[in-house]
Amino acid sequence: MSGRQRPWRADPQAPPDLETPLTARILIVDDDERNAFAAVQALEELGHELVVARSGEEALRRLLTEEFALILLDLHMPGMDGYETAELVRSRKRTRDTPIVFLTAIFRDEAHVFQAYSAGAVDVVFKPVDPFILKSKVTVLVDLYLKTEEIKRQSAYQQWLLDEHARVKAEKAQTERALRRTEARQEAILQSLPIVFTSRGIDPPYAPQFVSESVLSITGFPASRFVDEAEFGSSRIHPEDVDRVVQAMTGAVKTGRYSCEYRWLCADGQYRVLQDQGVIAPSLDGEPREIFGVLLDATDRHSLEEQLTQARKMEAVGQLTGGVAHDFNNLLTVVLGNVDIMARKAEDEARRIRRIEAIRQAAERGRDLTRQLLAFSRRQHLSPVTLNVGTLIRDFAPLIRQAVGEAVTLDLALSEETLCAHVDPTQLETALLNLAVNARDAMPEGGVLSIETHRESDPESVMITVRDTGVGMSSDVRERVFEPFFTTKEVGKGSGLGLSQVYGFVRQSEGEVRLDSAVGQGTAFHLRLPISEAPLQEVRAEAPQAEIVGGTERILLVEDEPTVLALTLDMLTGLGYQVATATNAAEALEVLHSGAEVDLLFTDVVMPGGVSGVSLARTARELRPDLRVLLTSGYVGEGAVIENAEFPLLDKPYESTLLAAKLRKLLDPRPPRRRRGRASEGSVAAE
């Protein structure tokens, strides 16, 4: 039989087992099988574990590995007798306290009994064994053993409690030291980082509950100011940024996160740009939710971004200036060269006409270049109407097919729904033509050009997509494709203003342009235009004038540029009109106040003196309600879209044929319009 350990010592780290009942083991050493059987029979009912050894040697072997509460040892045995066995048992530290009861049938005299006690026996039982006496003696000794073991177990448990307390205390102290080291390390890290960690309430004014100390290095104020004064942080946000911050924080309740930037007034009196972002922490055990966030000082980043933006602007301005100078120098070379030759020598009529035509073509190219630049800068004059985009594209498709050539297949995928936008039809056609020509150049071997339309719901708009199957664009080209004078084509193959015109026109029409392209995968331009619910307007192309028609009406001409004034005066008088001139609004009003008859006011929009042509026209109308008005300008700034709004506008440069047509359109009598109710006598509707 193998030995076993006490159950409370199974795991030194575990507490002693106080629940398992203690049991005793009794070793019976007797060479006579009958005597051993008799002892077992007598003790079985006690319920203890009984182990029989047939010799002293066997008993010693068991005692080396096993533990017994009591040893019943026969004195008279062959080989090693009971005395010798007892002596060896007592000589070992582990077994010297184990009680030994001698069993004997021979040695009954006092000398042997004394010798037995001297050998370490606690009692002597004579054979034949009386079962009752044996059970009584064994019960006493075993009970003593069990009580001793229970005391040991309780003592071990107490010691375990003391050891466990000491261990927990040591571990707690070690954990606290580690926590302090971690907190110190984290605090050092937080203070070294340009980041502020915050915790706020979820309800206005979103009062801070925690702010890391690193806020001092950014704002100049200690964290306690933010925590102790609920509205301190929000009170120093720039007034123009407050609504944006409140909107972001309010939206966080729905989305679970927020992110915003705002200017914050620091202790040094300077505003710094702070990037504030965070998330709403989930509620635990019914506790109020919090907003955990971080603050970053984004001032330097904003400064660098502004510098980069300014550098890009200067680069674009340099490129624009160079492109304008290049093209206009070419045009001026043609103009000045031909004028110089005409001034120095007389030529036959045919050569003179060719030189005049060259000057005209150069001037027209300069006019077109100026209009393209104004389109890019979103300062061109627009004449928007509400039109069906699909109808315009379908009607314009033949010209697009002609422009792209037979190698390119034009595919129209127009929505069956009526999609209306309020745009300038001529400029929209020009934008589509520019995109078509750009697509044709991207497909030198031919391909497919598709134009698609559909309704976008968010926001409500008309989407026009012009897509090709061409070579596509690299990322570098995509970033610069809308820059004026930027082109990937060979010298002389393009001005680099076509896509700039598209971008400027769409943006000026309150729309957006998006580009999708990749090398070898074609290109798609998406033009998003605000949808219009206004009634459709008929779009008619102005018929060319068969002849120049003048008149004899009285015109007040207002122009601050002397050369333009002289040229326009020649045009008007050449058409037969009676003309009075003024160089500014004050002089023009003097003419009107003088009582002189004036049928039409023809004035430049941009003039010196602080009064524009539009303001002059309004004042003139107040003085003379029947006065016709025609405005002119090469650039009218933010007020470009005034056609159909208040006064008609004639773009500079203009020719005598167009000027004559505009004047007659305004001055010729028109049939009265049908009005509901009674019409005002003598009233003339302004165009």
The pLDDT tens digits for 46-82 are 888 899 998 888 888 888 888 898 888 888 888 888 8
pLDDT at position 331 over 70: no
Q: What is the DSSP letter of 8?
A: G
pLDDT at position 18 over 70: yes
Cα 383 from chain centre: 39
Residue range 398-405: mean pLDDT, rounded: 85
H/E element, 389:
helix 389-404
Burial (CB < 10 A; 0-12, 13-18, 19+), residue 676, is exposed
Which of 649, 655, 652, 663 lies closest to 614 in space, CA to CA? 649
Q: CA-CA distance, 73 to 307, in Å (whole number)?
A: 105
- Asked if 71 and 27 count as a contact pair (C-beta separation under 8 A), the reply is yes
Higher pLDDT, 1 or 99: 99
Burial code (b: 16+ CB inside 10 Å, e: under 16) for 480-510 equals ebbbbbbbbeeeeebbbbbbbbbbbbbbbbe
Residue range 156-167: mean pLDDT, rounded: 86
The confidence score (pLDDT) of residue 602 equals 93
Give pLDDT tens digits for 275-306.
Answer: 888 888 776 666 667 888 888 888 877 777 76
Handedness of CA 641, 647, 651, 653 (dihedral sign): negative
The confidence score (pLDDT) of residue 643 equals 41
Percentage of residues in the chain having pLDDT higher than 90: 10
The confidence score (pLDDT) of residue 298 equals 82
Residue range 189-205: mean pLDDT, rounded: 74
Range with the largest mean pLDDT of 92-96, 215-219, 477-481, 573-577? 573-577
Residue range 406-418: mean pLDDT, rounded: 89
pLDDT at position 474 over 80: yes
The confidence score (pLDDT) of residue 360 equals 72
Going from the C-alpha of 392 to that of each of 423, 435, 503, the distances in angstroms are 11, 15, 19
The confidence score (pLDDT) of residue 560 equals 87
H/E element, 554:
strand 554-558
- Residue 199: strand, helix, or coil: strand
Residue range 499-522: mean pLDDT, rounded: 84
Residue range 506-518: mean pLDDT, rounded: 86
pLDDT at position 9 over 70: no
The confidence score (pLDDT) of residue 670 equals 57
Average pLDDT, rounded, for the chain: 78
- Asked if 636 and 664 count as a contact pair (C-beta separation under 8 A), the reply is no
pLDDT at position 86 over 60: yes
Give pLDDT tens digits for 610-669.
Answer: 788 888 999 999 999 999 999 988 765 544 334 445 788 887 777 788 888 889 989 887
Higher pLDDT, 687 or 116: 116
- Asked if 224 and 210 count as a contact pair (C-beta separation under 8 A), the reply is no
Residue 85 binned pLDDT confidence (cut-offs 50, 70, 90): confident
- Asked if 502 and 431 count as a contact pair (C-beta separation under 8 A), the reply is yes
User: Which region, left, alpha or beta, applies to residue 467 given φ > 0 means left and ψ of -120 to 50 means alpha?
Assistant: beta
Q: Which of 85-89, 149-153, 490-494, 549-553 is predicted least confidently?
A: 490-494
User: What pTM does this model have?
Assistant: 0.42
The confidence score (pLDDT) of residue 334 equals 57
- Asked if 439 and 401 count as a contact pair (C-beta separation under 8 A), the reply is no
The number of beta carbons lying within 10 Å of the beta carbon of residue 94 is 11
Handedness of CA 667, 670, 676, 682 (dihedral sign): positive
pLDDT at position 439 over 50: yes
Residue range 427-443: mean pLDDT, rounded: 86
Give pLDDT tens digits for 558-599.
Answer: 988 887 888 888 889 888 999 999 999 999 999 999 988 999
Handedness of CA 91, 93, 94, 100 (dihedral sign): positive
Q: How, if at all, do strands 25-29 and 70-74 pair?
A: parallel
- Residue 354: strand, helix, or coil: helix
The confidence score (pLDDT) of residue 65 equals 87
The confidence score (pLDDT) of residue 295 equals 85
The confidence score (pLDDT) of residue 681 equals 33
Q: What letter represents residue 80's amino acid?
A: M
The confidence score (pLDDT) of residue 603 equals 92
Which of 301, 209, 231, 218 lies closest to 267 in space, CA to CA? 218
H/E element, 593:
helix 585-593
The confidence score (pLDDT) of residue 399 equals 84
